[in-house]
């Protein structure tokens, strides 16, 4: 059980996020920088070489272990250096446009990131926190919008606006910890931090907007900062990256990022998968399943999670369940059955519950764990595949013109 409650959230704004200042200050934020980048930031304000390592560690501790939001609270460094830091940098997180609380305790935030075009509002993406009895999962976005166009996914109806940077990915987690009161060392003056049982966020899933493997470098860097045990300390095993099947990057993801893998399967034959998850036309099932077999570090203790959305009359027959079992042969796997979450204008219906259970039983009897994911946060459109923001794509030509104005 999580024994501490989230700090009560002040009501941030209702519908009209546009009342918020556009982009925060113009100073760059230190949030989401790695060791080398923090070193460069410190060097730029005249911290000398021989002090650099120590100062980086102090900043790292202040930002990532303690979650400080003001330079003034960084008591380990001199007043003079704190002043200089504040003159040139901020420790701002992404902005919250709206915060919604579902009647099942799920929280959803619409976040606004810094604009890279003067005068234009920054792009927006959603983030969701799902509290459970013994753990809490934070679902973050890796892109604003998406290129994949999966037929059943609301985000898929949005164009790709842009990739999120490593700073913005780390910033999401830090902001969620701020809002949930989940910075251990601020409350307990204890170097080991809060025990797991008292942490609000125990797991991170890259299952929000976007395809993380199409934003590989930023996701990799963010995962390395988030897992650092002298800071945020969410180990790679607690971070799950979900992909629709970007086959050429899967091997690299296992070898270089080393996090847990989830694969959005959703169909057991190429004809249907081509339609539901169009990236299948590029990387068909056979290649995808081979990439799963080859995923580095796979074992019974480190299984791949296969996500399978239950669409009434489309992919939910007993035949489908049998083919699924055949496909998974030889892969240490768990199958997450996701009841389809509807959205305005969505072209599918959710399978009926009895059918989902029959499907689950068959897979279970073949020896695979096949939990049915209880829909969470549907009332605030926070469930899988319901995320969307109104951010618009700015073409390179428009971007150039705006920057030249």
Q: For ligand SAH, what does the binding mask look like between residues 297 and 336, x meaning CB under 6 A?
A: ----------x-x---------------------------
Q: Give catalytic residues, as residue numbers.
A: 126, 384
Q: Which of 90, 98, 202, 264 binds ligand SAH (CB under 6 A)?
A: 264
Question: Tokens 């995320």, residue?
Answer: 387
Q: Which of 98, 102, 106, 243 binds ligand SAH (CB under 6 A)?
A: 243
Cα–Cα dist 296/258, whole Å = 8
Using rule CB under 6 A, residue 250 touches ligand SAH: no
State which H helix or E strand residue 267 sits in: none
Complete DSSP assignment for 12-32: --SS-GGGS-SSS-SSPB-TT
For residue 179, the minimal CB distance to ligand SAH (Å) is 22
Exposed e or buried b per residue across 48-85, where buried means at least 16 C-beta atoms within 10 angstroms of its C-beta? eeeebeebbebbbbbbbbbbbbebeebeebeeebbebb
Nearest to 115 by CA among 21, 33, 212, 15: 21
Nearest-CB residue for ligand SAH: 385
Q: Which is nearer to ligand SAH, 206 or 232 (CB)?
A: 206
For residue 392, the minimal CB distance to ligand SAH (Å) is 20
Q: Which is nearer to ligand SAH, 340 or 368 (CB)?
A: 340
Tell me the longest C-alpha to C-alpha distance in the chain: 70
Q: Which is nearer to ligand SAH, 186 or 384 (CB)?
A: 384
Using rule CB under 6 A, residue 239 touches ligand SAH: no
For residue 89, the minimal CB distance to ligand SAH (Å) is 32
Q: For ligand SAH, what does the binding mask look like between residues 373 and 392, x meaning CB under 6 A?
A: -----------xx-------
* Burial (0-12, 13-18, 19+ Cβ within 10 Å), 366: middle
| CA–CA distances in Å: residue 119 to residues 186, 189, 401 | 37, 43, 13
Question: Tokens 């005068």, residue?
Answer: 119
The alpha-carbon radius of gyration of the chain (Å, integer) is 22
| CA–CA distances in Å: residue 167 to residues 142, 310, 390 | 11, 35, 22
Residues 72-131 that bind ligand SAH (CB under 6 A): none
Cα–Cα dist 74/61, whole Å = 9
For residue 385, the minimal CB distance to ligand SAH (Å) is 2
Start-to-end Cα distance in the chain: 55
For residue 264, the minimal CB distance to ligand SAH (Å) is 3
Using rule CB under 6 A, residue 268 touches ligand SAH: no
Q: Which is nearer to ligand SAH, 264 or 315 (CB)?
A: 264
Q: Which is nearer to ligand SAH, 167 or 305 (CB)?
A: 305
For residue 153, the minimal CB distance to ligand SAH (Å) is 3
Residues 129-188 that bind ligand SAH (CB under 6 A): 148, 150, 152-153
The site for ligand SAH, by CB under 6 A, has a size of 17
Question: Which residues contribute to the site for ligand SAH (CB under 6 A)?
Answer: 148, 150, 152-153, 207, 211, 242-244, 264, 307, 309, 338, 340-341, 384-385
């Amino acid at each position: 059980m999580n024994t501490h409650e989230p700090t009560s959230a002040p009501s941030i704004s209702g519908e009209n996020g546009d009342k918020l200042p556009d982009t925060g200050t113009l100073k760059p934020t230190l949030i989401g920088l790695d060791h080398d980048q923090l070193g460069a930031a410190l060097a730029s304000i005249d911290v000398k070489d021989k002090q650099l390592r120590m100062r980086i560690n102090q900043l790292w501790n202040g930002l990532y272990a303690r979650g400080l939001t003001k330079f003034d609270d960084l008591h380990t460094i001199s007043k003079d250096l704190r002043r200089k830091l504040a003159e040139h940098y901020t420790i701002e997180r992404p902005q919250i446009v709206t915060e919604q609380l579902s009647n099942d305790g799920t929280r959803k935030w619409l976040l606004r990131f810094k604009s890279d075009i003067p005068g234009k509002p920054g792009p927006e993406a959603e983030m969701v926190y799902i509290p459970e009895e013994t753990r809490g999962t934070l679902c973050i976005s890796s892109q604003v919008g998406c290129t994949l166009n999966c037929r059943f996914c609301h985000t898929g109806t949005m164009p790709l606006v842009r990739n999120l940077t490593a700073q913005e990915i780390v910033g999401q987690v830090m902001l969620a910890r701020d809002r949930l009161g989940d910075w251990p060392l601020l409350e307990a003056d204890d170097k080991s931090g809060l025990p797991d049982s008292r942490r609000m966020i125990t797991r991170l899933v890259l299952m929000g907007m976007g395809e993380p493997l199409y934003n590989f470098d930023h996701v990799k860097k963010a995962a390395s900062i988030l897992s650092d045990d002298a800071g945020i300390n969410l180990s790679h095993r607690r971070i799950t990256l979900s992909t629709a099947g970007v086959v050429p990057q899967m091997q690299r993801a296992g070898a270089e990022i080393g996090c847990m893998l989830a694969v959005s399967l959703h169909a057991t034959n190429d004809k249907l998968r081509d339609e539901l998850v169009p990236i299948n036309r590029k990387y068909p099932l056979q290649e995808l399943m081979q990439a799963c077999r080859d995923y580095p570090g796979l074992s019974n203790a480190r299984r791949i999670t296969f996500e399978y959305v239950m669409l009434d009359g489309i992919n939910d027959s007993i035949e489908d369940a049998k083919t699924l079992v055949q496909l998974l042969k030889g892969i240490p796997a768990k199958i997450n059955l996701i009841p389809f979450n509807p959205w305005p204008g969505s072209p599918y219906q959710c399978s009926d519950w009895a059918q989902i259970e029959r499907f689950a039983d068959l897979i279970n009897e073949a020896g695979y764990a096949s939990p049915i994911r209880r829909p969470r946060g549907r009332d605030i459109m926070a469930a899988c595949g319901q995320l969307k923001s109104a951010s618009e794509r700015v073409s390179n030509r428009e971007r150039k013109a705006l920057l030249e104005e």
